[in-house]
């Protein structure tokens, strides 16, 4: 069951972490303020022992031809079985939604989402600032060490070409210390006009 979103402030984040009986912390806020940051992102690191079959070129990207009138969804889901591993199987579940009428109705565009093999960020092409409606990102990563993630600073950002970090609006942002996973739901950048959104295509979990 999806955990309910909790409004929080920086002063409450530590209390939430201490009080959750399942050692998880839901960090979403329905009224997150949009602020651009110029510092380089500190990405959450993915595990180095994902599995022998790991290949970002052959497995960890997805593409879909989408028309502007109908929009569409690109999914990138996989599991690497790791019997006996202390964090269990490594799983990625990704859903990227392009809304209908996000670009000209008579136009088709090939959208691609790609997982970085080392850090917890996705690239989305073409750049989300080329459409006139927000692209929605759902992403869950499960089966890795999240013990060093600080709930006071953990976040999910859109990052531009010059490492401009733009906060996202999201329905849910969770780090689950018991199930060894992080999750974001319905993350979007806002405002959606190209003149206000920095050029870029990375979405990712940051420390």
CATH code, domain with 45: 2.60.220
Please tell me the total count of domains within the chain.
1
**Integer-rounded Cα radius of gyration of the chain:** 17
Mean pLDDT score of the chain, rounded to an integer? Answer: 82
Q: Is 29 part of a structural domain of the chain?
A: no
For residue 118, tell me if it sits in a domain: yes
Separation CA 203–CA 20 (nearest Å):
27
Look at residue 34 in the predicted model and tell me its pLDDT. 52
CA 95/CA 73 separation, integer angstroms: 7
Q: Per the domain annotation, does 87 fall within a domain?
A: yes
Per-residue pLDDT reduced to its tens digit, 99-119? 999 999 999 999 999 999 889
Asked, for residue 145, whether it belongs to a domain, the answer is yes
Beta-bridge partners for 90: 80
Q: What is the pLDDT of residues 123-178, one digit of tens each?
A: 999 998 889 999 999 999 999 999 999 999 999 999 988 888 999 999 999 999 99
Cβ contacts of residue 57 below 8 Å, gap of 6+? Answer: none
Collapsed DSSP state (helix, strand, coil) of residue 15:
helix
- Residue whose C-alpha is closest to residue 47's, from 97, 1, 92: 92
Phi, psi of 21 (to 5 degrees): -75, -20
Q: Which domain holds residue 102?
A: 36-206
In a domain, 5, yes or no: no
Residue 131 has which token pair? 């459409």
Residue 124 lies in a domain: yes
| pLDDT for residue 192 | 66
């Amino acid at each position: 069951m999806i955990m309910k979103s909790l409004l929080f402030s920086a002063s409450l984040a530590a209390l939430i972490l201490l009080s959750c009986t399942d050692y998880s912390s839901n960090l979403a806020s329905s009224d997150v303020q949009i602020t651009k940051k110029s510092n380089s992102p500190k990405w959450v690191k993915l595990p180095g022992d994902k599995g022998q079959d790991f290949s970002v070129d052959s497995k960890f990207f997805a593409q879909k031809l989408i028309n502007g009138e109908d929009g569409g969804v690109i999914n990138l889901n996989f599991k690497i079985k790791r019997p006996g591993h202390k964090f269990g199987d490594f799983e990625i579940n990704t859903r990227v939604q392009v809304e209908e009428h996000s670009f000209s109705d008579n136009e088709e565009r090939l959208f691609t989402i790609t997982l970085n093999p080392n850090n917890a960020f996705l690239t989305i092409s073409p750049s989300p600032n080329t459409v006139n409606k927000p692209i929605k990102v759902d992403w869950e990563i499960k089966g890795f060490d999240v013990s060093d993630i600080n709930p006071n600073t953990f976040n999910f950002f859109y990052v531009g070409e010059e490492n401009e970090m733009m906060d996202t609006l999201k329905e849910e942002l969770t780090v689950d210390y018991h199930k060894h996973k992080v999750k974001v739901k319905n993350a979007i950048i806002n405002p959606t006009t190209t003149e206000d959104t920095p050029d870029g295509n990375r979405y990712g979990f940051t420390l």
